[in-house]
Each structure stands twice: as C-alpha cells, then as structure tokens.
Amino acid sequence: MGVMTDRAGDERFEATVTTRVRWPELCLLMVATLLALIGGGAARAAETMTLHIPSKKMILPNGLTVVVSPKDKLPIAHLSVRFRVGSAYDPEEKAGLADLTARLLDKGTTTRTATAIAEELDFLGARLEASAGGTGSTVSLSLLAKDIDRGLALFADILQDSRFDTAELERERTSMLSQIQQRRVNPRQVVSEAFREVLYGEHPLHRPISGYASTVPQITRDDVLAFYQRFYVPNNAILVMVGDFSEARMLEVIERALGGWQARPLDQLTLPQPAPTQGKQVRVVDMEVNQSYVQFGHLSVRRADPQFAALRAMNYILGGGGFVSRLTRSIREEQGLAYSVHSDIVGGSQFPGFFYAGLQTRIDTTSQALNSLFAVIDRMKQAPVSADELTDMKLYYEGSLPRRAESYGQAAGLLLDGEFFGLPDDYWESEIRHIQRLTPEAIQQLAQRYLDTDNFVLTLVSKRAQLSLAETPIPPEAIRYVPAP
C-alpha cells in the first residue's frame, strides 16, 4: 500500500534516494553467498534455528555510537549511519526539508564535486544510499573490504562536509516536485497519504516525507545547511559496520576516519505524542478510478513494546501471512472481492506506530469488502485461533530467522534497529522465543486489546458518484468527502 513498505514504525513512511552506481563485483559475491546458503539449507531445515550476530559497541569521544560485527563469508563491508532526525522535525511550512537534505548529501562536498563522488563510487564498485524517514535519516555504503580506507574517507567527507551546491539543490527540488505530482495521480499513494494525515492528525508525522508542492519551493539552501549542521552531528548518530575484518580493525578504521568529526551541542526538538485514535474517522477521496482503494487502521505500539513481536505473530494469522491469512482467505479466496488484501503492525520509535489493513475492490463491492474486513477482525477477538493456524505461524517465524541476516546489509540493519529503537541484545532471537510460547488464548487476548473496530481511521480513494457506504456500520456523520489532490 503506497509508501508503507519499508522499515518499522514512523520509518516506514520513507523516501529512499539511491546513488545508482555499478557494483558488479559486489553483486557476484552476493550471488555466491546465496548459492552457498541454498546449498546448506536442506541440512538445517528441520533444526530449530538460531541467529547469532557477534558485535561490539563503543561510544567515541565525540559521542558517535559505533557497533561493529565481523562477518567473514565474503570480502566486503557494509556501513550504515542513522541520525536521530527525520521529517517529523521539519517546520510545517517547509515540509520536505529532511528529505531534501538526505538527497543532497552525495551531491558535492567542500573537496569533491558531485561528479567526482559518482566517479569514485563507480571506480570502487561501491553503492551509496541516503534516505530520510519519519524520525531517522540513514546513509549506507557497501563496498569491497580491500577498499575500506578509501571508501571510509569518502563516506566521512559526505557526512561531515557536504556542500549543498545551489544548482544541485534546484535539480533535486525539481525531482521532488515531479515525484509529488506523480503521487497525486497514483491512487495507492493518495490513499496512503490520506490515511497518514487522518491517523496522525496535528502531529508532524501526518506529513509526507517529501513534503508538499506548496512547501518544497519554500526550502532554501540556508534551511538545508542549518538542518545539516544542527542534526548531522556524531553525538546524534549511530554507526554500524559489518565486514570481513576483526572487531579491532573495524574500530580502528572508523576512529581514524570519524574520530575527528566535531560534536556540537544538540538542541533536539521535543515533539508531542500523537492523540489516540478515537471514534470512526472516514475520509473518501473522490477520484476518477475504476475501483476502490481502501486503508483501515489505528495507532498501536512502539517498536520497543514488549508485545510487539507477539502482535506481529497475531497479524500473520490475520492478514500478514499471504494466502494462509484469514483476510486473504475470506475476502479474496472465498468471496473474490479483492486480488490483494493484507495487514501489518508497524512499530514506532519515540511515537506510537500503527495497525493497518489495505485492499482494492470494485466500487460496487466496497461495502461488502469493508463488512468482511470488520467481521474477520472481530472474529479474531471472539474466539481463539486454531491449532493449525498457530502451528503454521510459529513455523514461519522460526524458519524466517536465519533469512533475516543473509546479507551484510541485513545484519547491519538488525544491529542498527536494535540501537535506534532501544531493543535488547539479540532481540531477533528473544522475539522468536516469545512467539513460540504463544497460545491460542494469548493470541485472542492480543486481538481483544490491540485490534479496534470502534475507533479507527478509514480512507478510501473511489468514485463518489458510484460509492455507497450505507450498508456498512459507518455513521454518515463520520464520513468526510474530499476532492482529488
């Protein structure tokens, strides 16, 4: 559904900016890893899987949190830095500032032009990515281990001395505005953005990561530079490195490259918590479409909530398990009302995340699909799940554990999320153990507490003249009709 396909929590609302470079050597090495994993998979299939990612953490004198993890299957390295800042910290009138800042990081430094950076990445066969999320912004670099010194020098230059050239800024601004225009005519994006706007209300997370057509033109180079200087500081960052080195070697090269990065007093904004979802809030966007696009949900829990893993397990049975989930069986397989239907629990960082379910259906079957959606959710609360459903869910999560860190980037992502969200060591294993202890009655209790068909946000993109919601349990006064964006 729209942009809700990436990370946990408010980080799921994310626009990713990728530096497109050729990295054939890394691709070949990754293919080799995949083949090796496939070859060894049969011997492990029947075992209870564990996933140990050895790591060491330290905090440099400049405040930079560093986590390193040796991995020797391939001669490569992956580095990710996440800053504790994202679009939630944009001024309302300059929404898109965090995104524009991230997009410009590799577009020139005080010593390198954008072309020089691109050429150096190409020469190294490296890949650089930068993105802004709701409360975090991430910069990542993948390269061959033999090039770590040169790669880290480039990485450090980008993190510390980006130039934000005016011409490059205008090019990125034009690109952002073009993408915003494309979103306005994409019903999947429209329904997702409408859902976020109603769900988070007056909270800054209601805004799209890349802002609006009215706000992006207001962002100046001074705004970008001030944002960068304020938030892109080592004492506001977490760096994770996974590579074919010893822990000592990784700490050595990181400290040499980034130990001189100057800390600054961190004047972090204090943002309020979003208001809980109350009552039925329905928004219908009138567009010239041939089907209804539906998104339903409400605020839920933070990623660090002790019940988060259990909620994901409950959701697997409800709508996250594809063809074995209840929503797919009822709405797609039994009634033929939708080609795709799914649900998810998304954990927030310092703010609550959300539960959502999405589907597309014919305009004349919208009410039937909505009633089925409500009914399936309510049945989760009315009776325990079956033994077969519970067994299938547990097997899925147990089997998925080793796949979560097949690549160096995945391993780095687990470690980075652990630090960013404040999760316990080896949380990926403890969460699986938690899931394995769940009973049908526990799943029911979770549904009763965390699924709500009385207090929710429902957004639809549909053709108003053909849409009727009279046969749903939605009071007319809860419905607001708005024109297409």
Using one digit for the tens of pLDDT, what is the confidence trace for 20-73?
333 444 454 444 444 444 444 433 433 456 899 999 999 999 999 999 999 999
Encode pLDDT of 266-300 as tens digits.
887 789 999 999 999 999 999 999 999 999 999 99
How far is 326 from 374, CA to CA, in rounded Å?
12
Could you give the C-alpha distances from 255 to 83, 151, 420, in angstroms and in order?
Answer: 18, 14, 21
Give the CATH H-level superfamily of domain 280-384+439-483: Metalloenzyme, LuxS/M16 peptidase-like (3.30.830.10)
Q: What's the pLDDT at 27?
A: 52
Low-confidence ranges of the chain (pLDDT < 50): 1-26, 28-47
- Cα–Cα nearest to 357, from 458, 444, 280: 458
Asked whether this chain's domains 9-36+48-258 and 280-384+439-483 adopt the same fold, the reply is yes
How far is 171 from 168, CA to CA, in rounded Å?
5
pTM: 0.89
95 φ, ψ to 5°?
A: -60, 135
326: left (phi over 0), alpha (psi -120 to 50) or beta: alpha
- Cα–Cα nearest to 233, from 405, 82, 89, 45: 82
Burial class (CB in 10 A: 0-12, 13-18, 19+), 274: buried
How far is 456 from 476, CA to CA, in rounded Å?
15
Q: What's the pLDDT at 269?
A: 78
- Cα–Cα nearest to 106, from 62, 24, 150, 172: 172
- Cα–Cα nearest to 261, from 235, 241, 239: 235
In the chain, where the domains are located: 9-36+48-258, 280-384+439-483
- Cα–Cα nearest to 268, from 237, 299, 303: 237
Q: What class, spelled out in words, does domain 9-36+48-258 have in CATH?
A: alpha beta
